[in-house]
Amino acid sequence: MFIGVSKIKFKDEFDRVKIFFILHSFLFILAKILELFTHEFSFISFIGFVAWLVYYRFFYRMLKFLHYSFWTMLFISLAVIFSDMFTSLITYEDISLFYLYLLSFVAIILSAYFVHSPIFYPIVSWWEYDFRYRNDLEARVVIGEEEFTARLVDLRRSAGGLSLFKDLDIGTKIVIKLEDNQFSESLHGEIVSKRRHTLGRPFTYGIKFRFEEEDDRKNFIKLQKFWTFERKSKQKEKFSL
C-alpha cells in the first residue's frame, strides 16, 4: 500500500510524470478515433474504442496511486502500440496515424523513465526465497541517538529503497551505515516516500541521498560500485551451486 511522498520536493517531478502520461493518453486515443472513423468503423470496433477509454482510466489510477500494476499495464500498452504502428504502415498505409502512435509511444516512455526510481517504485526482491541471494544489503539507520536495523533494497538514480519495521515520518533526515567490513563509509539521506506492501511486512522508504559535502558524492559512487559487485557475486554464487 502506497502511503505518501514528499509533497514539497517531489510534487513537480511527479506532475511531470503525469503530464507525459496525459499527453500519451491524448495521442493514443486521438489515433484510435482517427483509425475508427477513417479505416474500420463498426459496432465491434466502437466497443473496442470504449474499452480503451475504460482501460486508460484505470491505467491513470495505477500511476496516480503508484500501484505496481502500472508496469503490467504499461507493457500491454507498449505491445498494442507496436502492433498499431505496424498496422498503420502496412495495412492502412497511413503515415499520419503512424506518427500519432509513434508520439504516444515516446510520451509513455518518458513518463515511465521519470517514474522509474526508488522514490516512486522501489524494487524489493520478495520473489527470492533464500535471503542469502536477495539483492539487498544489511544496514543500520541512525536518527539522532537512535539506531535501527534495516536493509538497503534498491539503489538507482541517486536514490535508494530502505526496508525497516520502524514507522518513520516523511522528511526525516537519516544516516545509513552498511553492516559490511568492506564498506565503512556513512551516507546521509532523507525519507521522501513511504509504502507498506502488507501487514507484517516492513515499511519501504524512498531515500534521496544528500550530497552536501564533496565526500558524500564520493561515498555514494563507492556504494554504487559495491552494490553492483555484491549483486553479481550473489548471482554467481546462486547459479554455481
pTM of structure: 0.84
What residue has cell string 554464487?
Answer: 237
Instruction: Domain ranges for the chain, please list them.
Output: 2-115, 131-239
Q: Which CATH architecture has domain 131-239?
A: Beta Barrel (2.40)
pLDDT digits (tens, 9 = 90+) for 184-197: 788 999 998 888 87
pLDDT tens track for 174-183? 999 887 767 7
Determine the average pLDDT of the residues in 15-33.
95
Summarised one tens digit per residue, pLDDT across range 195-209 is 887 767 889 999 999
Mean confidence (pLDDT) of the chain: 88
- Give the list of residues 6+ apart from residue 206 with CB closer than 8 angstroms, or none: 5, 117, 118, 119, 120, 122, 159, 160, 161, 191, 192, 193, 194
Question: What span, in angstroms and rounded, lies between the C-alpha atoms of 141 and 85?
Answer: 49
State the pLDDT at residue 228.
87
